[in-house]
Amino acid sequence: MKRVYSFCIALLAAGVILSTMSCAAKTPASSLDAIKKAGKLVIGTSADFPPYEFHSQVNGTDTIVGFDIAIAQEIARDLGVTLEIKDMKFDGLLAALDSGNVDIVIAGMTPTDQRKESTDFSGIYYRAEQGVIVRAADLAKYPDATSLRDAMVGAQKGAIQVGIAKKQVKGMSDETADNPQVKELPKVADLVLELKNGKIDAVIVETEVAKAYVAANPDLAVAPFVFPDSEGGSAVAIKKGNQALVDVVNATLNRLGSEGLIPGFVTAAKEEMDKL
C-alpha cells in the first residue's frame, strides 16, 4: 500500500513538472529576444517612396536605400544584429508584421488611431506635409485644394493620403467608402505612371516624395499647395505587446535625434536620388 501511495505521489509530482514544462514551452520569447537569438532584424518596407526608401544601384547592385533604411541600420546596430530588408506592397506591411513575417515596419508610416488599435508604434521620427503631383502642362488648373474637387485623384492604397483624397478633397465623411474619383493603387510609382498616361489628374503623396518623382519626370510638377500632416508624422510600427522592442527602437530614435543625425540621413538619401 505504501508503494502504491508513493507511486501516486511520484505521478502527481511528475504531472506538476510536465505541466510546468508545458506552460514554459507555450510561453513565447519576446520579439526582442527572438531578434537577438536570430542575429538579425527583419524590416518590412515599400521601396517606392523616395527619399524614405527606394531602389538604387550601389556598386552595380540593386540596393534598397533611403533615410528610413539608414534609421533601420542604426536600430540593428544598437541591437548588435544584422539588417534584413523585405520589400512589399504598403497595404500588406501591417499584416506581415502581425504574422511575424517581419520584426518591424519602417516605411514613412503614420501612427493613426485606427492603426494603433492593432499595432504599437515608436515615437515620431519625421514630420512632413502632404503634396500633390500633377502634369506640368496642367499646373495652372490646380492652384489650390478646391481645384481638385472634380479631378481624378490617386493615392497609395492603405496610406493616409487616401483619407485626405476622400475627406479633404472630395468632402466625404467616411473614408472607407468608395469614390469613383479616387483611385487607389499599391505603389506610388504605378500612380505616377497613371498620371503620366492621363488616366488620373493628380497624385497625393508626401511633399518630399512628390519632389523626388518630379525631379525624375520633367513632364510632372508639384502643385503650389499642401495638406498639413494632422496625423503626427512617421513612426516605426511594432507588433502589439512587444514593449521591450518599442523601448529599444525609441532609444535609438532618441539617440539619433539628440545627435542630430536624421537630417543628415535625409540629405544623403536625396543625394542618392540625384544619381538615379
CATH at residue 40: 3.40.190.10
Do 116 and 38 lie in one domain? The reply is: yes
Task: Summarize pLDDT for 39-88 with one digit per residue, the tens.
Answer: 999 999 999 999 999 999 999 999 999 999 999 999 999 999 999 999 99
C-alpha angle with apex 84: 83 to 88, nearest 5 degrees? 135
* Per-residue pLDDT at 3: 38
Region 140-160: what's the mean pLDDT?
Answer: 96
Do 121 and 74 lie in one domain? The reply is: yes
CB neighbour list of residue 270: distance below 8 Å, 6 or more residues apart: 51, 212
Do 109 and 179 lie in one domain? The reply is: no
Q: Would you say residue 217 has pLDDT above 50?
A: yes
Region 105-127: what's the mean pLDDT?
Answer: 95
What is the edge-to-edge ordering of all strands in the sheet holding 48-49? 48-49, 53-58, 61-65
Do 143 and 203 lie in one domain? The reply is: yes
Do 217 and 180 lie in one domain? The reply is: yes
As a whole number of angstroms, the distance between CA 100 and CA 231 comes to 26
Q: Would you say residue 23 has pLDDT above 50?
A: no
* Per-residue pLDDT at 25: 36
Do 213 and 237 lie in one domain? The reply is: no
* Per-residue pLDDT at 190: 96
Do 103 and 161 lie in one domain? The reply is: no
Do 80 and 207 lie in one domain? The reply is: no
- Rg of the chain over CA atoms, in angstroms? 24
**Global pTM value:** 0.82
* Per-residue pLDDT at 30: 59
Number of structural domains found in the chain: 2
Do 161 and 247 lie in one domain? The reply is: no
* Per-residue pLDDT at 276: 76
The boundaries of the domain holding residue 245 are: 31-127+233-273
